[in-house]
Amino acid sequence: MATDKLVEPEWLEAHLDDPRVRILEFNWNATDSYDAWHVPGAQGWYWKDWLWDDAIRDFPTPEDFARRCAAAGISSDTLVVCYGDPPQFGTYGWWVMTYMGHADVRILNGGRVRWENEGRPKSTETPPVAAGDYTPNPGRNDAMRARRDDVLARLDDIAGGGETVLLDHRSPEEYNGERVNMVGVPDVGAERAGRIPGAQHLYFDELLTDDMSFKPADELRALLEARGATPDKDIISYCRLSHRATLVYFAMTELLGYERVRSYDGSWTEWGSLVGVPIER
Handedness of CA 44, 268, 153, 254 (dihedral sign): positive
pLDDT in tens, 79-103: 999 999 999 999 999 999 999 999 9
Q: Distances from the Cα of 4 to the Cαs of 11, 31, 33, 250, in angstroms?
A: 11, 28, 27, 12
Are 230 and 191 spatial neighbours (Cβ–Cβ below 8 Å)?
no
Q: Which amino acid is at 239?
A: C
Residues marked active site are found at 239
Are 61 and 69 spatial neighbours (Cβ–Cβ below 8 Å)?
no
Question: pTM score, two decimals?
Answer: 0.97
Which pLDDT value is given to residue 1? 52
pLDDT (tens, 9 = 90+) of the chain, 281 residues, equals 558 999 999 999 999 999 999 999 999 999 999 999 999 999 999 999 999 999 999 999 999 999 999 999 999 999 999 999 999 999 999 999 999 999 999 999 999 999 999 999 999 999 999 999 999 998 899 999 999 999 999 999 999 999 999 999 999 999 999 999 999 989 999 999 999 999 999 999 999 999 999 999 999 999 999 999 999 999 999 999 999 999 999 999 999 999 999 999 999 999 999 999 999 99
* H or E element in which residue 69 lies: helix 62-71
Helix, strand, or coil (residue 275): coil
Q: How many CB atoms lie within 10 A of CB 234?
A: 17
Are 24 and 34 spatial neighbours (Cβ–Cβ below 8 Å)?
no
Q: Which residues make Cβ contacts (< 8 Å) with residue 187, sequence separation at least 6?
A: 179, 180, 181
Instruction: Give the domains, in start order, of the chain with CATH numbers.
Output: 6-138 (3.40.250.10), 143-271 (3.40.250.10)
What is the spatial distance between Cα 137 and Cα 127, in angstroms, rounded to a whole number? 27
